[in-house]
Structure 1
Amino acid sequence: TYGKERVHELIGKLKGEFISQNVIDNDPFSDEFEELIFPPYSIKEIGGAKIGIIGQSFPFTSTANPKKFTKGWSFALRHESLQEYVDMLRKEKKVDCIVVLSHDGFSVDQELAKKVKGVDFILSGHTHDPSPEPIIVNDTVIIISGSHGKYISRLDLDIKDKKVVDYSFKLMPIASHLIPADKAGEDLIAKWYKPYDKELNEALGTTKGLLYKRDTFYSTFDSLIGMAIQDEMKCDINFN
């Protein structure tokens, strides 16, 4: 977690837009009290079609992190305001398609698709799940494309008479071992790691099996950490 100042600093360097309809100023002494922190949506004209994109930030940010990092900002699901933006983009801005760019998490986005009407696609993040096929909830198509640059997704839309009549989706894994490393990036990482070479290369033990980490899925390294904590704390059960 970076904190509000660092977030604004990074967004200032972003070569793109940062949008979110569910982060609000809740500092009663602020001039922006109860106003949105970020623009809620963006409209893109692509291939002759008008696409409305609404941002949805992780709604539990303030409870999943130390309060000091988000003090003065309010995070929530805010399905009611999301529905208002969907309706406004349809009726006033005359968009042909509505996409929600979401960091809710896959299970929460499934509920979003049930409660908010008129969303064509949800590009779902946070839980890091990849799925080669879209998941359809009511009339909303949910796309989940993994994380950490492991995949690239392609979504092609066929739009006629102000609505999506067909689409195609492809999830493509990135063969990172075939892509040449970026020299500047490698040098920077080596520079950061250099002061800790001794600690990072100290042998702490030997395992008979392979220890690996697989993001949100089960992994042997997660299992080892859980068992080590369980042994140290003398408890009967650990939740990974």
Structure 2
Amino acid sequence: LWTRGQDMVDAQLRLGVDVMTGHWEYTFGADRVQEVVENDYAGRIDFVAQNVTDADWGDRIFRPYVIREVNGVQVAVIGQSFPYTPIANPRHLIPQWSFGIRDGEMQETVRKARHEGAEVVVLLSHNGMDVDIELARRVDGIDAILGGHTHDAVPAPLPVKNPSGGTCLVTNGGSNGKFLGVLDLDFRDGAIRGYQYRLLPVFSELIDPDREMAAYIREMRQQQVTFEGETFPMEERLGEELAVSEDLLYRRGNFNGTFDQLICDALMEQVDAEIAFSPGFRWGTTVLPGMPITFEHVMDHTALTYPAVTRNEMSGRRIHQILEDVADNLFNKDPFY
């Protein structure tokens, strides 16, 4: 938030990311996204998204896919950004960009990649697991979907039959760098003959830090930053101790967690409200009982690019509608509803 994403952009470049797609990146605004893609990522990281188009003309904003040679095999990586970005996030941040699942366009993109020479097609998706499964059922020619958004740590890929009877492997590698999903495909004689998938847990305390990355993190955190007119040392602000936790504070489920409740209690107290809503993002660092709650912990859970809190009068009917909409978004039997 304080660096407008530059800290993570530079970390990606050092990490060696090859291909990516987007969701929260878009909340920095269209101009900032284009700036990073056209400058920082140029020649280093391919930003792909087949489902992001100009709202007026329908032209694609980004490349829909890239073809890379991997161990002598031509592999197409198609990008699928979060399809509901203008609904889940403020529309005014990307007013000229249109999103959506666009399964028809996805099918045409797969055909085009195959025609261009792709022997294997992988979808890098931010749909969420349920939407990815349904997309795999509807689109021919995708061999695997490596997904995100719903933060599911899927221990083994789900084989899904496509309309032609072929198989698409659908998986999701968790979130927050807690796991590394590794998919090895056995490609021989023009077809995938088998695969091996491993969801590797990342135990940071058991892994020797990369020297270059560790040095970068130290340097980045020691810098002075200016945010909303105030200049301050990042490390000092992040380390500020605000309280000591009496209970386990977490934010993981679809309904609520103890950190969700802490946020809602704070909102009600600060703005003198009778009820508070907090979206269950399912991210943020868990705080154990007896641990200090630092400013960094609060930032982990609340540092959005649109942090405004509002107090509004609502009828019981309106509250009921909001809760029903949220439940529908999470549990509707048709992910494409």
What TM bracket, shorter-length normalisation? Answer: 0.7 to 0.9
Rounded to whole Å, the distance in 2 between the matches of 1:147 and 1:103 is 12
Rounded to whole Å, the distance in 1 between the matches of 2:50 and 2:276 is 43
Rounded to whole Å, the distance in 1 between the matches of 2:49 and 2:238 is 41
Q: Conserved in 1, the CA contact under 8 Å of 2:48 and 2:64? A: yes
Pick from 78, 83, 86 the counterpart of residue 54 of structure 1. Answer: 78
Rounded to whole Å, the distance in 2 between the matches of 1:237 and 1:186 is 36
> Counterpart in 2 of 1:220?
258
Q: CA deviation at 1:114?
A: 1.4
Are 1:208 and 2:275 an aligned pair?
Answer: no
Unaligned ranges ≥5, structure 1: 28-32
Number of positions where the alignment pairs a residue of Structure 1 with one of Structure 2: 233
Pick from 65, 69, 72 the counterpart of residue 45 of structure 1. Answer: 69
> Counterpart in 1 of 2:18?
none
Rounded to whole Å, the distance in 2 between the matches of 1:239 and 1:3 is 21
> Counterpart in 1 of 2:102?
78
Q: Map residues 63-102 of structure 1 onto 2, 5 A cutoff.
A: 63-90=87-114, 92-102=115-125
Are 1:136 and 2:159 an aligned pair?
Answer: yes
Change (3 A) 1:233 1:97: same
Length-normalised TM-score, structure 2? 0.62
Q: Conserved in 1, the CA contact under 8 Å of 2:129 and 2:171? A: no
Q: CA deviation at 1:42?
A: 1.1
RMSD over aligned CA atoms reads 2.8
Deviation digits for residues 127-151 of structure 1, max 9, x if unmatched? 1211121122222111211122222
Rounded to whole Å, the distance in 1 between the matches of 2:238 and 2:173 is 35
Are 1:173 and 2:201 an aligned pair?
Answer: yes
Deviation digits for residues 86-111 of structure 1, max 9, x if unmatched? 12333x22422111111111111111
Rounded to whole Å, the distance in 1 between the matches of 2:241 and 2:147 is 39
Change (3 A) 1:239 1:148: closer
Change (3 A) 1:214 1:189: farther
Rounded to whole Å, the distance in 2 between the matches of 1:202 and 1:89 is 52
Length-normalised TM-score, structure 1? 0.84
Which piece of structure 1 moves more, 170-179 or 3-12?
Answer: 170-179
Rounded to whole Å, the distance in 2 between the matches of 1:198 and 1:161 is 58
Rounded to whole Å, the distance in 1 between the matches of 2:278 and 2:93 is 28
